[in-house]
Amino acid sequence: MIAQEAQYRDWMLAALMGDAGAYRMLLGGLTRHLRSYYARRLDAAAAEDAVQETLIAIHTRRATYDPALPFTAWVYGIARYKLIDEYRRHKRRATVPLDEAADLFGHDDATDAIARRDVTKLLDKLPPAKRQLVKDIKLDGVSVADAAARTGLSESAVKVTVHRAIKSLGEDLGEDLEKRDADR
Amino acid sequence: MQTDDLIAHLSNDLPPVRNGAVMRILLSAITLGVIGSTLVMVLVLHPRHDLAAAMTSFGMWTKLLYTFALTAFGFWLVERAGRPGADMVRPALLLALPVLAIALLSVIQMNATDSDPRLLLMGHTARVCALLVTMTALPTLAATFWALKRLAPTRLALAGTGAGLFAGAAGAFVYSFHCPEGAAPFIAVWYSLGIALTTGIGGFLGPRFLRW
């Protein structure tokens, strides 16, 4: 069972009876999950469009929610449909990975921001040159060849540098976690 | 428009949703569709001339019960298909019950001592039966699509297939009043083929016409 199910379902049932306040809470809450869901699958402009389209779809089709079924599965069905619609419009690809409702409700835009902040904080521990390399290759998807050309290092040197940097970050993270556990 | 403004706009005027809204959409559309199918049967094909006498025959009730059971489970399938996140497996599995029943009855009739298997299977109208079932089903298929589009089908090929099965079964039910056959093997093969044809048409058209 998805954690938000009971709360969202209550809001939805109230909204179906005409409770605008509950409906506003519901749409606000869903928007945070939808933003994160589409941001992980579409580019920024298309993602916000998809969020709005999904909200409108939820609104115009709200009568199709059957209170005997999980509300989160209903929302996920619509979100997935709108994602496929978006892919189809841009002829990007015909298949959508078989994820499920938990994937929509397991993330929201706040947790995504925390994850990004954590990565940035961790990277700050590296010396600037190494940090740039790790960021380029591991986060921004620059190829090893391009990074080598940019820095003047050989490709194998780039690979070794990134590998060692990641390893040292892992060790740092391990120490941090051990320290935190010891403090408890 | 900003998303926050959109939310404010959507929740600004929120009339309560009436109970059974989905059922009302489906039933009103399907009533019109079945009227359309009945008109095709009455005006184009004509009811069989011995209909009154046939209404008490075993063959007539074999057709009506078989096609009605498929229509009922098909309706449930369509209703599920219109709701995001709803499970279509259970109604789909139930479809096996009438199919098993007609298959069993066919075996019994074919193995009766005085039976003529060829006549039981082919009757006199085997060549046109499936196509005429499909033709009779088309108005119901169109109406079912129209209703589904107003709901929220999220798997369009599957929803179209369900709509085709429902419409095919309803069309076969209506066609029963024209058709002179009544042997279970005939119904099991040719009625089912007409229903399958309509099901295929629905599945093919779903992704094209059910988008919303």
Q: Which residues of A40-75 are buried (b: 16+ CB within 10 A; e: fewer)?
A: ebbeeebbbbbbbbbbebbbebbbbbbeebbbbbbb
Sign of CA dihedral A99, A105, A106, A111: positive
DSSP A63: G
pTM attached to this predicted model: 0.80
Predicted local confidence at residue A61, as pLDDT: 96
- Give the number of residues written for chain B: 212
Q: How far is CA B140 from the centre of its chain?
A: 8
Residues A51-85: tens digit of each pLDDT: 999 999 999 999 999 999 999 999 999 999 999 98
Q: Are A56 and A32 in contact (CB under 8 A)?
A: no
Residues carrying CATH 1.10.10, chain A: 125-183
| Class at the top of the CATH hierarchy for domain A5-105 | mainly alpha
Task: Scan for tokens 């998805």, then name that residue.
Answer: A2
Q: How far is CA B74 from the centre of its chain?
A: 6
Within-domain flag for B16: no
Within-domain flag for B12: no
Task: Out of A93-97, B51-55, B183-187, pick the least confident.
Answer: A93-97
Higher pLDDT, A94 or A40: A40
Within-domain flag for B15: no
Q: What is the CATH number of domain A125-183?
A: 1.10.10
Q: Does the structure show a pLDDT above 90 at A12?
A: yes
DSSP B15: P
Q: How far apart are CA A114 and CA A70, in angstroms?
A: 29
Task: Work out the mean pLDDT of chain B and round it to a whole number.
Answer: 95
Check B152 against A55: CB less than 8 A apart. Answer: no
Check B84 against A31: CB less than 8 A apart. Answer: no
Q: Which residues of B touch A52 (CB under 8 A)?
A: 1, 3, 6
Q: How far apart are CA A128 and CA A134, in angstroms?
A: 10
Q: How far apart are CA B59 and CA A88, in angstroms?
A: 49
Q: How far is CA A50 from the centre of its chain?
A: 14
Total number of domains constituting chain B? 1
Check B10 against A59: CB less than 8 A apart. Answer: yes
Within-domain flag for B9: no
The domain in which residue B91 lies consists of 21-209
Which amino acid belongs to residue A121?
K
Q: Are B137 and B167 in contact (CB under 8 A)?
A: yes
- Give the number of residues written for chain A: 184
Q: Are A78 and A57 in contact (CB under 8 A)?
A: yes
Give me the helices (H) in chain B, please.
3-12, 21-39, 51-54, 58-81, 89-94, 96-110, 117-122, 126-150, 156-175, 184-186, 192-209
Q: Which ipTM did the prediction report?
A: 0.89
A62 interfacial to chain B (CB closer than 8 Å): yes
Q: Does the structure show a pLDDT above 60 at A17?
A: yes
Within-domain flag for B90: yes
Predicted local confidence at residue A136, as pLDDT: 80
Within-domain flag for B54: yes
Q: Which residues of A touch B8 (CB under 8 A)?
A: 24
B8 interfacial to chain A (CB closer than 8 Å): yes
Within-domain flag for B14: no
Within-domain flag for B137: yes
Q: Which residues of B touch A28 (CB under 8 A)?
A: 7
Check A24 against B7: CB less than 8 A apart. Answer: yes
